[in-house]
Amino acid sequence: MTMREALVTSSAPSAIGPYSQGIRSGRLVFTSGQLPMTPSGELISEDIARAARRSLQNVMAVLGEAGGTAQDVVKVTIFLSDLADFGAVNEVYGEFFAEPYPARSCVQVAKLPKDARIEIEATACIDDTLPS
């Protein structure tokens, strides 16, 4: 039976439903989709670059609870309400990730919770035996 550990951090907004901010199962970490919300719950929506940065900061905060960093991320999924924001999001994304970049999907969706413009989730593989 696989052990699962719920990840909880005050450095990212609380879950807005019956789910965990993230789950660690062995070496794997799965973040829930992170909206561009501050830890206190303020939604950032007017500026897509600022919103993308906040969503990624939230992803990193959840990963950090498991001892992970951006270097541990193997897959990212980005949900956008408007694919025209793709270029601006890519610029911000480059602030967080370096080569070799994680695998990634980016899709336009009809609607996101709280009418957010972006939501980002990540999967990481953390090897506790390797030095950082």
Q: What is the pLDDT of residue 16?
A: 87
Q: Give me the mean pLDDT over the 56-64 stretch.
A: 98
Q: Give me the mean pLDDT over the 39-64 stretch.
A: 97
Each residue's pLDDT tens digit, 4-51: 999 999 999 999 899 999 999 999 999 999 999 999 999 999 999 999
Each residue's pLDDT tens digit, 79-103: 999 999 999 999 999 999 999 999 9
Would you say residue 132 has pLDDT above 50? no
Angle of the 48-65 helix axis to the 86-96 helix axis, nearest 10: 40
Would you say residue 131 has pLDDT above 50? no
Q: Give me the mean pLDDT over the 60-86 stretch.
A: 98
Q: Are 20 and 32 in contact (CB under 8 A)?
A: yes
Please give the structure tokens belonging to residue 22: 């993230």
Q: What is the pLDDT of residue 127?
A: 82
Q: What is the pLDDT of residue 2?
A: 64
Burial of 72 (0-12, 13-18, 19+ CB in 10 A): buried
- Fold of the CATH domain 5-125: 60s Ribosomal Protein L30; Chain: A; (3.30.1330)
For a pLDDT cut of 90, what percent of the chain falls above it? 92
Place of tokens 């990634």: 104
Q: What is the pLDDT of residue 105?
A: 98
Burial of 76 (0-12, 13-18, 19+ CB in 10 A): buried
DSSP-derived letter for residue 43 is B
Domain ranges (residues) in the chain:
5-125
